[in-house]
Structure 1
Amino acid sequence: MEFSFNIYAIVLLACGCTTIVLSNYIYRRGGEAVKWFSMMMLSNAIWSTAYGFELASSTLSQIKFLINIEYIGIATLPLNWFLFCLSFCDKECWYKKRLNLALILIAPIVTILMVWTNSYHHLHYKHIEIATDGPFPMVAITPGIWYRIFTIYFYLLLACGCYLILMKFRTSDPIYKKQNYSIVIAAFIPWLANMSYLLGLRPFAHLDITPFAFVLTSFFILIGIYRFKLFDIIPIAREKVLELMQDGFFVLDQQNRIIDYNKSIQRYISIAKDQKIIGTQLEKIFPNQPYFFERIKNHQSGKIELDVTLENKILYLEADILFLVDNKINNDFTIIKLQDLTNFKREAIRTKEQANELEKLNQLKDRIFSIIAHDLRGPLVNLSEVLKMIANDQITREEFKSISPTLSKDIIYTTDLLENILHWSRSQLKGFGIKKEFFNLRNLIINEINYHLPAATTKKIKIIHDVFPGEMVYADILMIQIVMRNILNNAIKFCHENCEIHITAVYQRNGTMLVCIQDNGVGIPAHVLERLFKNENITTRGTFNEKGTGIGLMVCKDFMIRNDGDITVSSQEGQGAKFCLSLPTSK
């Protein structure tokens, strides 16, 4: 082959060789859109290189051979352009259908075959000859019918690709406008060049400037790739894997504006429907997180926990901060990964609460065993020894009568202690059910007064109640009976002779019944008052040296909580104490 190179041929050959190198480099970057763009560059390189050799040729046979090579690039270039636009606009599903891909492949394959066999049918070119009216020999062609069909196919794919790019440009967020400008401009350059060639607007006779136009197109898209990070940020760099991840991702620019995110992030943020996330300052998404933004400002990577309120619920998030720096163009970006730790956090809190509760129960169990070993064993041993002495005639009847009041008190104390322990331990059993029902409060209080009347009479204590007949409450009657019994027992124990105990019941506006037991006994010291109901073993001797069980008030507090009620106490030392029970009156 003989060549006579001119400036146009040299420019095309240089651009073609450069494009081949660039297409190979870009293809290795990965990603669907990137690979289709590199294939489009390869088609352009084949066309440009072969056309450069054609412009340096002077024989018709050599030119026809080079045209056959050119059409490998010409026929595949619009196809690769269209596939690039589909992939860039997230429409890959269209060409992944075999039927659709087969339909658009027919035209390029048939065109290449038509050009290679044109000398037999002349359907693509009716006539080809060398024209010498220009600055150097160039081919002059007379188009055939298939040439016009392929031209329609060429323009149709160019038009579809441009339409997709325009739609992408219109719907893109403002922060991406600069990135898309290069694509929009590049999309129209081949149109203008090829239309001017077909309309006869040729500055140098038969010179086709379309290959030069596609070189410019590639140049503008390369600007988008390297200057505006076209494929580093949208949508190729993130790929589909980010959309499938459950964790949320933010990409921030130097001003902490959001320039990219995945769909999972919407589960972690609260934002108005008409507000766009892209371009929004991160501070508006996560307000009141000073430490979080201080770390971003100081470029401190790592993990940090965030408490976010979303729809009146608290989410516990873990933010993983990562900084990317591109020294070539002096750009840096921040990637923030958000992981929902709400379930783990709540489970950890629940586990900690259960551990604390278990520790309290173990401590309480130890105290109960201590009470059983000491306070319960002592009276029983004393009673056993007295009975042995009576059996062996070691004490007289008069001596037995003198110690019988003490034995009676010990038996009463032991009975109360056993009752409290048994009821409380039964309530702690797994599966224990609370049998709530409506019952007459006045009847229960009268029964408890009658039960404690002997002890009150011994100390000349008056028990006065002011409860209307028919007052109904909704609770477990046995539990409330135990609560009332313990409080009345304490009131009697800490009253002097001739004291009074008043019991009242008042209906509250919030739908509860407030039952108060007030005495004018010795009262409760302030330091003891603070420790009541705190699972502490507090026992104090009564005014007649009566012993306490130490677990009565703990049982009362537990039973009231289980019945959706409450128990409170107020007291001043030397002026008596007032215990109030809040009981529900409805289901």
Structure 2
Amino acid sequence: MHFEYTPFLIPYIVGGITATAMAVVAWKHRGRPGATALCWLTLATAEWSLGNAMELCSVELEAKLLWSNIEYAGITTVPVAWFATALGLSGKGEWLTRRNTLLLLIMPAITQAMVWTSGHHELMRYNIRLDTSGPVALIAKAYGPWFWIWTAYSYTLLAIATLRVTRATFGLPGPYRAQSRLVAVGAITPWAASVLYISGLSPLHGLDITPIAFLATGIAGALAILRYRLFDIRPIAWSTIVGDMDDGIIVTNFEGRIVAINPAAQAFTDQSADCVVGGDAADVMARWPLAARALSELTGSSGESSLEIADEDVFLEFRFWPLLGPGESILGKIIAIRDVAERQRTRAELVEQHRALAAMEERATLAQDLHDDICQVLGYLNVRLQSAQAKLAREQTAAVRSDLESLIDVVRDAQAEARSYIRGMIGEASPEREFVSRLQGLLRDVESRYGICTTLTVPRGSSEGVVGHAGELQLFRIIQEAATNAGKHADARNLWVSLKLSRAYVEAVVRDNGKGFNVADEAALPSSGGCGIGIMRERADRLGGDLTLRSAPGEGTEVRVCIPLKSKFNEGD
């Protein structure tokens, strides 16, 4: 086997090296849809291009035929690999099962057999000879019937794949329109070159310029991946988002960059798609700090979250879901924004009804307590005073003096009991008990009543009085409700309560490891859960704070409340 140099080698070698480099880049992104298939596509292209270079520099016909046969390993792999790449990039990778892949490879396998046995039949090619009329010696041949069958099959796969990728990428908004143009150029260029070669219209007479055209594919693909982050953006199909939804929808990729945003979300954020697509979602959500923080805490997590925020004249609900890909891999996040002002009004009406019902129950309890305690004391005093009056009439002054001293003790005890009862009714702490001490007492009660192991974490410095007396009272009631819910409904083994101070807020977090629930079903919870959550939200709102509820089945529940320090709501304290 002899070889000779020809300058026509250079573009084929450059194309082969470029395709190999592309394969390395694609392999580094193999966890993303379509990346593994692209790796095989570029490896097949490299084999095809480098094999063609060896064919050109070979001298004997037999050597050229050998390298031509070797090239067919790449030639027959390219259409199937490109088809698989297109399925992955357009979100249809689940179609590429083992069975379907084997079916796609039947035609390439038959073609390989036809190529290597072409000396015994004329189905693939015949009348093979060496053409030395041009600047470089080439194989001249006539094509047999199986070649045209294979060509029809490969062009069908190439056409379907190119159409699918083009349709999918042209749907991207904003700066990623450049990405779609690169993908289109990379897909169409080698396809057009193949048509020119087979039809005999190649600009380089007799030379198959298809591998050279794949140099454009390599450059376009490298730019799409390295400059426009092809595999970071495209796995999410924008067609899954309904453009005319009333809810705002923002889709991010795994790294938190915005992939797509529908018109409703653009209205909520006051920003256009051209401005935000490709940017950091945290920047877009910056006007709602609590929502931005909730999004950052969920990065890389499969959990869901929900919170409501008052924004000027509207009341917004934010929900966060993981965007799952093949094998439950996390591709990014879906953020839904909904105006829930009407629902908030309905909730307020329900809370008001619940408050009225609670007031009626409190009146009934108060009447019973008055009958059982105060009335009984007054009846006892009446009997004893009448007895003292009778003794006084009989001039039994010593006995009367003893009765009066006893009655004074009864009145003092009754007065202390009444004061304690009134403090309990209005939720006022005893003067000698500070806020943290009350929390410790609450958790001891939860431990003894429900058998839960509790942990309380407080700042090193004193947190007493930072939100005022009314703020401490409401904050205590929120923590009490959350802890009671965990004990009564969550089947939790552990309960953690923590306080955190910042310059502007005091934050309380109540978290358990119980059975959890779907936050979307909050309104359907029983009164002890749903309305209790509503009351907690109302207490937080009353202090100008925010309450966030996060839970999922099997993942426990977290209630997080932030209250401003000495806000205008506490100025009266």
Residue aligning to 1:71: 72
Q: Distance in 1 between matches of 2:230 and 2:196?
A: 30
Change in 2 beyond 3 A, CA 1:368/1:175? farther
Tell me if the contact between 2:14 and 2:215 (Cα under 8 Å) persists in the aligned partners: no
SS class of match (2:288): helix
Q: Which runs of 4+ in 1 moved over 6 A?
A: 269-273, 293-296, 300-306, 356-370
Residue aligning to 1:37: 38
1:221 aligns with 2:221: yes
Change in 2 beyond 3 A, CA 1:221/1:22? closer
Change in 2 beyond 3 A, CA 1:128/1:236? farther
Q: Distance in 2 between matches of 1:158 and 1:21?
A: 22
Which residue identity does 1:292 align to in structure 2?
Answer: W
Change in 2 beyond 3 A, CA 1:306/1:295? closer
CA positional deviation for 1:60 = 1.6
Q: Distance in 2 between matches of 1:173 and 1:289?
A: 19
Residue aligning to 1:139: 139
Which residue identity does 1:178 align to in structure 2?
Answer: A
Change in 2 beyond 3 A, CA 1:104/1:129? same
User: Alpha carbon RMSD of aligned pairs, Å?
Assistant: 5.5
Alignment of 1:333-412 (within 5 A): 371=374, 375-385=378-388, 389=391, 394=394
CA deviation vs aligned residue, 1:96-135 (integer Å, no higher than 9, x gap): 372x434322211110111011112221011222111121
CA positional deviation for 1:259 = 3.4
CA positional deviation for 1:41 = 0.3
Alignment of 1:482-493 (within 5 A): none
CA positional deviation for 1:383 = 3.0
CA positional deviation for 1:168 = 2.1
CA deviation vs aligned residue, 1:246-297 (integer Å, no higher than 9, x gap): xx86549xxx995336xxx99xx77889x998447699x99x987537998x
Change in 2 beyond 3 A, CA 1:207/1:281? closer
Change in 2 beyond 3 A, CA 1:48/1:294? same
Q: Distance in 2 between matches of 1:108 and 1:118?
A: 15
Q: Distance in 2 between matches of 1:6 and 1:290?
A: 61
SS class of match (1:32): coil
Residue aligning to 2:288: 292
SS class of match (1:126): strand
% identical aligned pairs: 26
Change in 2 beyond 3 A, CA 1:281/1:380? farther
Tell me if the contact between 2:86 and 2:161 (Cα under 8 Å) persists in the aligned partners: yes
Q: Distance in 1 between matches of 2:214 and 2:286?
A: 51
Unaligned 5+ segments in structure 1 are 241-247, 321-334, 397-416, 422-427, 429-587
Residue aligning to 1:91: 92
Change in 2 beyond 3 A, CA 1:180/1:290? closer
Q: Which has the larger radius of gyration?
A: 1
The one of the two structures with greater contact order (alpha-carbon pairs below 8 A, sep at least 6) is 2
Tell me if the contact between 2:189 and 2:214 (Cα under 8 Å) persists in the aligned partners: yes
Residue aligning to 1:577: none
Tell me if the contact between 1:33 and 1:236 (Cα under 8 Å) persists in the aligned partners: no
Q: Distance in 2 between matches of 1:163 and 1:131?
A: 37
Change in 2 beyond 3 A, CA 1:258/1:95? closer
Tell me if the contact between 2:2 and 2:58 (Cα under 8 Å) persists in the aligned partners: yes
Which residue identity does 1:381 align to in structure 2?
Answer: R
Which residue identity does 2:380 align to in structure 1?
Answer: R
Alignment of 1:125-524 (within 5 A): 125-235=125-235, 250-251=251-252, 258-260=258-260, 278-279=273-274, 291-292=287-288, 307-308=308-309, 314=315, 317=318, 371=374, 375-385=378-388, 389=391, 394=394
Change in 2 beyond 3 A, CA 1:251/1:48? same
Q: Distance in 2 between matches of 1:201 and 1:87?
A: 33
Alignment of 1:524-539 (within 5 A): none
CA positional deviation for 1:153 = 1.3
Which residue identity does 1:86 align to in structure 2?
Answer: L
Aligned residues: 354
SS class of match (2:259): strand
CA deviation vs aligned residue, 1:137-189 (integer Å, no higher than 9, x gap): 22112111111111111211121122213322454335431110011122221
Tell me if the contact between 1:194 and 1:210 (Cα under 8 Å) persists in the aligned partners: yes
SS class of match (1:27): helix
Residue aligning to 1:498: none
Q: Distance in 1 between matches of 2:2 and 2:179?
A: 45
Q: Distance in 1 between matches of 2:132 and 2:183?
A: 38
Deviates more, 1:70-79 or 1:1-10: 1-10
Which residue identity does 1:162 align to in structure 2?
Answer: T
Unaligned 5+ segments in structure 2 are 241-248, 299-304, 322-331, 397-413, 419-424, 426-573
Which residue identity does 1:377 align to in structure 2?
Answer: Y
Tell me if the contact between 1:175 and 1:259 (Cα under 8 Å) persists in the aligned partners: no
CA deviation vs aligned residue, 1:403-452 (integer Å, no higher than 9, x gap): xxxxxxxxxxxxxx9xxx9xxxxxx9xxxxxxxxxxxxxxxxxxxxxxxx
- Give the structure with the higher percent helix: 2
SS class of match (1:22): helix
Q: Distance in 2 between matches of 1:361 and 1:17?
A: 87
Change in 2 beyond 3 A, CA 1:319/1:112? closer
Which residue identity does 1:223 align to in structure 2?
Answer: L
Tell me if the contact between 1:289 and 1:306 (Cα under 8 Å) persists in the aligned partners: no
CA positional deviation for 1:25 = 3.4
Change in 2 beyond 3 A, CA 1:148/1:77? same
Alignment of 1:556-567 (within 5 A): none
SS class of match (1:7): coil
